[in-house]
Amino acid sequence: MDPVLTSTLADMVRNAAPLLIASQGELITERAGVVNLSLDGTILLAAMAAFAVSYNTGHLGMGILAAMLIGMLVALIVIAASVFLKLNQIAVGFVLTLLCADLSTFFGRKYSGQQGQEIPYAPIPILKDIPVIGEVFFQHNILIYFSFLLVIVVWLWIYHTRFGLSLRSLGEHPAAAYVRGTRVQLWRFVYVALGGALVGLAGATYSLSVKLGWREGSTLGNGWIALAIVIFGGWRPFRIAFGAYFIVGLRALALYLQKEDVLNLPIQIINMTPWVLMLVTLIFVTSGLAESLLVIVPPRWRPAAQQLLRVKPPGALGSNFERG
Amino acid sequence: MTAFRKFLIQTSSRTALGFFPLLVGTLVALGVIVLILNHEHVEPRAVYDLIYERTLSLPENRANVVDFWLPILLCCCGLLLTFTAGLWNIGIEGQITMGAVGATSIALFVKLPHNQQILTELFMAGAAGGAWALFTGIMRTRGGVNEIFGGVAMNFLASNFSTYLLVGPWSPPNATGSATVRFPDYSLLPSMDKYRLSPITIYITLTAFIFVLLTLSGSRWGLQLRAMGKNQKSAQMLGVPTERNIWLAMLMCGIMAGLAGGHLVLFRRSNLPANVSGGIGFLSLLVVLLASVRVRWVPIVSFAFALLYSAGLPLRTRLQLDSSLVGIFLGILVFCVLIFDGVRQRLQERIEQRKLLAASGGEKSPPPPTIEIQIGEEVSSGSSSN
Amino acid sequence: MRLEIREISKNFGPLKANDHISFTFEGGHIYAILGENGAGKSTLMKILSGYQAASSGQIVIDGKPVQINSPHHAIAHGIGMLYQDPLDFAPLTVLENYIEGKPFSFFMHRRDAEADLMARCKVLGFSLNPNAMVESLTVGERQQLEIVRLLSLGVGILILDEPTTGISAEQKSQLFQTLKNLAQEQNMTVILVSHKLADVEELCDEVLVLRRGKLVGHRLLPCETEIMVQMMFGKRLSQTSSQPLYTEKPVLKIHKLTVPARLFTIQNINLQVREGEVIGLAGLDGSGQVQFMRAIAGLGRPTWADQLTAIFALVGLWWVFGKVLDESSAVLNLAHIAILILVLGPLLKSLYPFIRQRSKQAEATEIILHGQSIGWRGYRDLLGRGVAYLAAGRLEEGLVAGLTLVDHAALANRSSLPYVNWLQAWRRTKGAITNFAIKGRPFSQIQTLSGGNQQRVSLSLLPDNLSLILLENPTRGLDVESAGHIWSLLLKRREQGTAIIFSSPDLDEVIDYSDRILVFSSGQTTLVENPEQMTTARLGELIGGKS
């Protein structure tokens, strides 16, 4: 296989890692029925914190831990405000987005442009020698491996364990989950905290591996992309992963075309393409247009195709649960 | 703790409770800022002096604050409409940017008699901002794309597009690409003699504010928007043209944001810089959130925000701080107000439940509605109106 | 199992929802609890099923006093509750619904659970497909799933809340047979909460009557219906009788209408509605009655004005985008493609069925109101032409929680003035309150009213001189008295020549008030011309597909 293509694919896997982690985190949160809108700010703040802490302490682990704690804290604020004060999750999430972004700018200004540590390169011994696949997937660092392992773990968790079943049920119909003995609020807190920690980890992945170092607003926009990918992916882990690779692939393709002078487009226009494509895809899928085009599909495969195109949010998304 | 809660419930009346969140929020935000300043070894007094000096000390500075305030107030007016209708117009940043781009496209490349020139520029600013917003609205009702995500996408599209214009077709002959050339004088909004303020913008803002005030306080359309914000399906059943109202509210908001963007390039900057909106759209969202969609509070709150925000820049040069400090202050303030408003609502609910129990002879009735910002739908783009 | 309640009381402030209720439910018997709205039935159920704690009193199961803290706890003690709106997870499969709530294990153990489910279904005679999505089941099947699930959890006391609404006659007799078997063979205690006396007489051994929170009567069945009614209401009820009032003048003609329902698509519905006629729609939940009425009312179709505005707006967008973006042809093209998708998408979507129909049949679908075709108009257009629609969810689709009665009157008043005439709105509200006997003040918020009063407000908001009113389940959640009042208000409307089409899961209601009945059954519709000769049982059979 073409070595340029292989290395491009490997780059894609690397660049998609934070998006993948963040969107899986948000998936868990939203499956529990909570919207954490603060992703964009959280990722920024977590990226800054991961860099600053590892820079100051010299331990990468501490940096990652700090990032995860920050993600968790922000997510817990959203859920606590929603559960105890019945506040609108969107409003709180939005304010936190702005606040976290400002905090990252303010506290990160000393670290801007500094040389920091990087997660060590750690190819996996045997797997790395598989042609193509080895180079694409198994010659990275541990966070990148984690990102695609996470998709599988989340999928297994959601669809094949009892924990996952109750996660789905409490996002779908909390009253029914309560009747069946699920402690709705407790599990919401747990899953939201977990999702938040993953979002924080995504920030750490940026500043410690993918976009090494810290610069003001360096990850701006990626949180929103992650949020949109969750919708695009219809709240299902593998489709979300596909969405993340798709977006990153688009960017890579655009850059490649630019380099090869195939398409003479300025970089800003290329930066716009993922957003435009995302809008077009969202419109296509959510407006029911895609579904009405399903008549082309032979009837036998129609249910499967319908299932594939289905984008139905968890039934209780964004709402409060009150017992009794 | 329970004794304290009882005490609070029994002693607090509606009006006293109303100011409680704002007071506590301000105190907490101030406290955090003082802590941060301590950590940075900067005297709070120095920051205060700097802010005072740059904003209120001299007439020119005061005029500058007002000049900064007007576009924010204009944006807030638009957001009041969309918020009332239950729409989160996060795309307002992009609408401001597009308004600026629209105004620039006329200001740089068209030459007309002065009055017509100004009118065309403002028209194009409003049209571009309005189109950006209307597109988000149509995507929501017809395409099933929630306005939050549609708006965010449109924001990024707008900012990328304006950057592209600056480095590409509109870049000045031998320059870095961070701004266009200065507009010719005939393209700029006229200024007052004494202060650097634009009377046209003042008129526009005043008209917009009075329009929104009247709309939301007594008009049929305002009532319809209010009903839609609370329950869109029911409003439709009662005969409210919900889809058209969504478009109209978005369009209005977009036009106002576009005009604000036009003011930024045609008067404040006299050219189109990169990142022209500079976050005033999000700032306006914060204002409207803080004022809980109460029209009368908006001018005051937005003025206070504008004052602080416009004082942000010198912090970096003079005190080695960063302008984001102001952002942190405002963020914490709004966050705390939201939180304590939630606390207040829960308290009030309890009071009213007690009263209801006592008054109705104990007939069990649902809790009184909470006054909070309504959003039409959860963040899913699954459902579309109509 | 033997369930004993001792001196159960529940107070909400000074209100006594349950006032020292004591009773012993013996195993192997089937009990009915009767009472009007607010009699304390639902409070007692909530206490037994663990949703609320009693203010005082004791619950004793098999001689042991127990403390029930949550619904799950109640199941652990052997009390299972079947709720009226099934508490299950629609987008999950039957099997997943069955597994959720079982004692915990880390993995799902699908195969074991499936075998278990199938075995239990076989014993009870239910046929459930474990891999079907719950949203594709009928209400009756969802009930069966819930019963199997509760039994698998070792429930010995089964409480059923209005289990016969929305299920077919066949499913009902199957349910009753199952319950009788369970009581006899497994010594289960079955408690039925219902207001349908016929069901109670058919199924139960003993009946308890609650009134104002007190247990006022206990009878062994069979006993006379009159006695039960008198115990429930403390007086005799006069039945609202409905005399036919229709003329021969047609209001609405429906020709070959095709409606997609949840499970089937119903082809070729033909119906002619005359002035002053009442048409009842009967059928299982989700058989297409609602979709049928919504298709007539034009809900989900954009109005003509909105379509025009959309086209106008999109042309405007095209122009502005062209003006602003003409610096970059690539962006312009993308924007234009996006706009094209937005314009053409919905257009194609709405044109598609039309085209398909044209190509297949010589005559197209037509809905004709007073001689004019209305099949392409939206709801707001039709509201102006005298068609009104009341949905079942009053606070979801109909009234706006948080607005006052006066606000509603102002909203519903169709006028072209830019401002609101509050004085007029206030007067209208005042008038409505007296005319419709609404218990509420003009400035009280709508959600503080009771269900019956909310429904009255909805009726009062309808414009005068309507040609057609469409109602989904008009008496949902109302007791007999409120329901009677709502119906007398509705029937009065016929005097102006208004035709009424309504759907209801309550077959008695359909038979009592309809001049003709349209039965929806698995993708077919049948018109019943003379409901006076109809019995509930026969109608139930029709719904179930027996002809």
Q: Is the pLDDT of residue B366 over 60?
A: no
- pLDDT tens for C451-478 read 888 999 999 998 888 899 999 988 887 8
Indicate the residue of C302, C305, C324 with minimum beta-carbon distance to B101: C324
For residue A241, what are the contacts with CB-CB under 8 A and spacing of at least 6?
A20, A24, A148, A151, A233
With a CB-CB cutoff of 8 Å, which residues 274-313 of chain C face chain B?
300, 302-303, 305-306, 309-310, 313
Residue C332: what pLDDT?
60
Contact flag C341-A312 (C-beta cutoff 8 Å): no
Residue B145 and residue A286: Cβ atoms within 8 Å?
A: yes
Going across the sheet that includes C3-12, the strands are C15-25, C3-12, C56-61, C64-66
Shared domain for B192 and B264, answered yes or no, is yes
- Considering only CB atoms, which chain B residues are within 8 Å of C415? 220
Amino acid B284: pLDDT:
94
Q: Which amino acid is at C271?
A: L
C297 or C342: whose pLDDT is higher? C297
Phi, psi of C516 (to 5 degrees): -145, 155
CATH number, domain containing residue B119: 1.10.3470
Residue B205, in any domain of the structure: yes
Per CB-CB distance under 8 Å, the chain C contacts of A182 are 100
- Given C52, C89, C328, which is nearest A173 (Cβ)? C89
The C-alpha atoms of residue C222 and residue C236 are separated, in whole angstroms, by 19
Q: Which helix (H) or strand (E) holds C255?
A: strand C250-260
Whether residue B348 is predicted with pLDDT greater than 50 in this model: the reply is yes
Domain that holds residue A109: 3-233
Say yes or no to pLDDT of C346 above 70: no
**Tokens 């949010």 sit on residue:** A313
Residue after which a domain boundary falls, among B284, B303, B320: B320
Give the pLDDT of residue B373. Answer: 37
In a domain, A266, yes or no: no
Between B175 and C73, name the one with better pLDDT: C73
Q: What does the alpha-carbon distance between residue C524 and residue C544 come to, in Å, rounded to a whole number?
A: 11
pLDDT of residue B365: 42
Q: Is B386 part of a structural domain of the chain?
A: no
Q: Is residue A201 within 8 Å of residue A71, measured between CB atoms? A: yes
| pLDDT computed for residue B379 by the predictor | 34
For testing the chain A interface, which of B35, B159, B160 should be mutated: the one with the most A CBs within 10 Å? B160
How many Å apart are CA A123 and CA A126, to the nearest integer?
9
Could you say which DSSP state residue B369 is in?
P
Q: Is B345 on the interface with A (CB under 8 A)?
A: yes
- Based on the domain organization, do B313 and B339 belong to the same domain? no
Range of the domain at B267: 65-320
For residue B48, tell me if it sits in a domain.
no
Task: Name C414's Cβ contacts closer than 8 Å, sequence gap at least 6.
Answer: B239, C383, C384, C463
Which pLDDT score is estimated for A201? 96
Q: Of the candidates B143, B168, B227, which has its C-beta nearest C403's C-beta?
A: B227
Same domain? B180 vs B250: yes
In a mutational test of the C interface, the residue from B104, B140, B230, B237 whose CB has the highest number of chain C CBs within 10 Å is B237
- B51 part of a folded domain: no
Task: With H, G, I as helix, E, B as strand and everything else as coil, classify residue C10.
Answer: strand
Binned at pLDDT 50, 70 and 90, residue C327 comes out as low
Q: Which chain C residues are Cβ-neighbours of A258 within 8 angstroms?
A: none
Specify the 3-state DSSP secondary structure of C509.
helix
Asked whether the beta carbons of residue C108 and residue A312 sit closer than 8 angstroms, the reply is: no
Q: Are residues B156 and B233 in the same domain?
A: yes
Q: What's chain B's average pLDDT?
A: 83
Give the number of domains in chain A.
1
- Nearest CA to CA, how far is A287 from chain C (Å)? 8
pLDDT(B245) > 90: yes
Q: Which chains neighbour C (Cβ–Cβ under 8 Å, 3 or more pairs)? A: A, B
Nearest CA-CA distance, residue B143 and chain A, Å: 5
Residues A33-82 pLDDT 10s: 999 999 999 999 999 999 999 999 988 999 999 999 999 999 999 999 99
| A&B contacts, CB < 8 Å | 147
Whether the pLDDT of residue C236 is over 60: the answer is no
Please report which confidence band the pLDDT of residue A136 belongs to, taking 50, 70 and 90 as the band edges. Answer: confident
pLDDT higher than threshold 90 for residue C212: no
CA distance C501 to C472: 9
DSSP state of B19: H
Q: Same domain, yes or no, for B253 and B150? A: yes
Instruction: Decide if C346 touches A, using CB distance below 8 A.
Output: yes
Look at residue A127 and tell me if it is in a domain: yes
Do residue B227 and residue C302 have CB atoms under 8 angstroms apart? no
Q: Are the Cβ atoms of B346 and A105 closer than 8 angstroms?
A: no
In a domain, A75, yes or no: yes
Annotate C74-110 with three-state secondary structure: HHHCCEEEECCCCCCCCCCEHHHHHHCCCCCCCECCH
Q: How confident is the model at residue B368 (pLDDT cuts 50, 70, 90)?
A: very low
Position C98: which residue type?
Y
Q: Are residues B142 and B160 in the same domain?
A: yes
Indicate the pLDDT class of residue B374, thresholds 50, 70 and 90. Answer: very low
Considering the domain boundaries, does residue A136 fall inside one? Answer: yes
Residue B281 in contact with residue B193, Cβ under 8 Å?
Answer: no
- Beta bridge pairs of residue C214: C211
Residues A30 and A41: their CA atoms lie apart, in Å, by 18
Which of C380, C441, C445, C455 is the best substitution to test chain B (most B C-beta atoms within 10 A)?
C380
In the prediction, which pLDDT does B178 show?
A: 81
Listed range (B144-148, C317-321, C496-500) with the worst mean pLDDT:
C317-321
Interface touch A178/C338, C-beta < 8 Å = no
Whether residue B364 has pLDDT greater than 60: no
Inter-chain residue contact A88 with B373, CB threshold 8 Å: yes
Residue A189, pLDDT above cutoff 90: yes
Please give the structure tokens belonging to residue B179: 């701004």
Contact A89, A26 (CB under 8 A): no
Residue B54 domain-assigned (yes or no): no
> What average pLDDT score do residues A9-23 get?
92
The pLDDT value given to residue C333: 63
pTM for the model stands at 0.89
Same domain, B312 and B326: no
Q: Which residue has the higher pLDDT, A262 or C92?
A: C92
Report the C-alpha gap between A32 and A172 in whole angstroms.
Answer: 8
Question: How confident is residue B127, by pLDDT bands cut at 50, 70 and 90?
Answer: very high
| B173 and B269 belong to one structural domain | yes
- All residues of chain C having their beta carbon less than 8 Å from the beta carbon of residue A319 are none
What mean pLDDT value characterizes chain C? 83
**Residue C502: its pLDDT value, please?**
93
- Report which of C428, C423, C384 is spatially closest to residue C409, judged by C-alpha positions: C428
Q: Which of A180-189, B17-26, C39-48, C354-363 has the lowest mean pLDDT?
A: C354-363
**Does the beta carbon of C129 lie under 8 angstroms from any beta carbon of chain A?**
no
pLDDT confidence of residue C334: 60
Is the Cβ pair B247, C313 closer than 8 Å? Answer: yes
Of A165, A280, A312, the CB nearest to C100: A165
CB pair distance less than 8 Å for B160 and A271: yes
- pLDDT of B293 > 80? The answer is no
Does A311 map to a domain?
Answer: no
pLDDT tens digit string along A90-99? Answer: 999 999 999 9
Q: How far is C346 from chain B (nearest CA, A)?
A: 7
pLDDT surpasses 60 at C238: no
Q: Is C167 helix (H, G, I), strand (E, B) or coil?
A: coil
Put residue B144 in one of left, alpha, beta given phi > 0 → left and psi -120 to 50 → alpha: left
Q: Kindly report the backbone phi and psi dihedral angles of residue C161, in degrees, each rounded to the nearest multiple of 5, phi listed first.
A: -105, 110
**Interface check C122 vs A, CB under 8 A:** no
Chain C nearest C-alpha distance from B191 (Å):
27
Contact between C163 and C204 under an 8 Å Cβ cutoff? The reply is: no
Split at pLDDT 50, 70, 90, the class of B369 is very low
Nearest CB partner across the interface for C87, out of A166, A179, A283:
A179
- Which tokens is B13 given? 């009346």
Q: Which residues of A touch C352 (CB under 8 A)?
A: 292, 295
Residues of B in contact with A271 (CB under 8 A): 156, 160
CA proximity to B39, closest of B325, B259, B385: B325
Coil, strand or helix at C7: strand
Contacts of C366 (CB under 8 A, 6+ apart): C253, C254, C255, C256, C373, C375
Q: How far apart are CA B66 and CA B54, in angstroms?
A: 13
Which residues are CB-neighbours of B155 under 8 A, at least 6 positions away? B90, B91, B93, B94, B97
Nearest to C74 by CA among C48, C100, C46: C48
Q: Does C75 touch chain A (CB under 8 A)?
A: yes
What average pLDDT does this structure show over A211-235? 87
Q: How many CA atoms lie less than 13 Å away from B143 in the CB half-sphere?
A: 26
Share of chain B above pLDDT 90, in %: 42
State residue B303's pLDDT score.
93
- Is the minimum CB–CB distance between C51 and chain A shorter than 8 Å? yes
pLDDT of residue C304 exceeding 70, the answer is yes
Which of C320, C400, C461 faces B227 most closely, judged by CB atoms? C400
CA distance A267 to chain C (A): 12
Cis upstream peptide for C442 (omega within 30°): no
Say whether pLDDT at C34 is over 80. Answer: yes
| Inter-chain touch A287–B153, beta carbons under 8 Å | no
pLDDT score of C546 more than 70: no
* Res B361: pLDDT: 45
Q: Residue A313 has what pLDDT? A: 81
- Domain total of chain B: 2
Say yes or no: B314 and B331 in one domain: no
What's the pLDDT band for B17 if we cut at 50, 70, 90? Answer: low
Range name among A192-206, A303-317, C12-26 with the lowest pLDDT average: A303-317
In angstroms, the first-to-last Cα distance of chain C is 41
- Angle, nearest 10°, between helix axes C329-360 and A267-286? 20
CB contact under 8 A, A176 and C51: no
* d(C-alpha A135, C-alpha C1), whole Å: 66
B168 & B284 share domain: yes
pLDDT in tens, A247-256: 888 878 777 7
Q: Number of CB pairs < 8 Å for B and C?
A: 149
Quick check: is A192 in a domain? yes
- Contact between A20 and A148 (Cβ < 8 Å): yes
Q: Is B267 within the bounds of a domain?
A: yes
Contacts (Cβ under 8 Å, ≥6 apart) of B14: B348
Shared domain for B225 and B179, answered yes or no, is yes
Measure in Å the smallest separation between the Cα of A30 and chain B Cα atoms. 10
Confidence tier at B384 by pLDDT (50, 70, 90): very low
Of B145, B163, B338, the CB nearest to A91: B338
Kindly state whether residue A111 falls inside one of the protein's structural domains. yes
| Lowest mean pLDDT across B132-146, C5-19, C415-429, C503-517 | C5-19
Q: How far apart are CA B143 and CA C346, in angstroms?
A: 8
Are B13 and B156 within one domain? no
Task: Kindly state the tokens that stand for C262.
Answer: 């949840």
* Mean of pLDDT values over C474-499: 85
User: Is C350 or B136 the better-scoring residue by pLDDT?
Assistant: B136
Beta-bridge partner residues of C472:
C503
The 10s digit of each residue's pLDDT in B141-157 is 887 788 898 999 999 98
Region C226-251: mean pLDDT is 73
Q: Which of B296, B320, B344 is the last residue of a domain?
A: B320
ipTM confidence: 0.89
Does B229 lie at the interface with A, CB-CB under 8 angstroms? no
Predicted confidence band at B376 (pLDDT cuts at 50, 70, 90)? very low
Given B297, B320, B343, the domain boundary residue is B320
pLDDT score recorded for residue A252: 81
The secondary structure of chain A, three-state, reads: CCHHHHHHHHHHHHHHHHHHHHHHHHHHHHHCCCCCCCHHHHHHHHHHHHHHHHHHHCCHHHHHHHHHHHHHHHHHHHHHHHHHHCCCHHHHHHHHHHHHHHHHHHHHCCCCCCCCCCCCECCCCCHHHCCCHHHHHCCCEHHHHHHHHHHHHHHHHHHHEHHHHHHHHHHHCHHHHHHCCCCHHHHHHHHHHHHHHHHHHHHHHHHHHHCCCCCCCCCCCHHHHHHHHHHHCCCCHHHHHHHHHHHHHHHHHHHHHHHHCCCCCCHHHHHHHHHHHHHHHHHHHHCCHHHHHHHHCCHHHHHHHHHHHCCCCCCCCCCCCCCC
What number is the average pLDDT over the span A168-179? 90
What local confidence, expressed as pLDDT, does residue B111 receive?
87
Distance of alpha carbon A315 from alpha carbon B232, whole angstroms: 18
Interface test with B, best of A94, A273, A280 (most B CBs within 10 A): A94
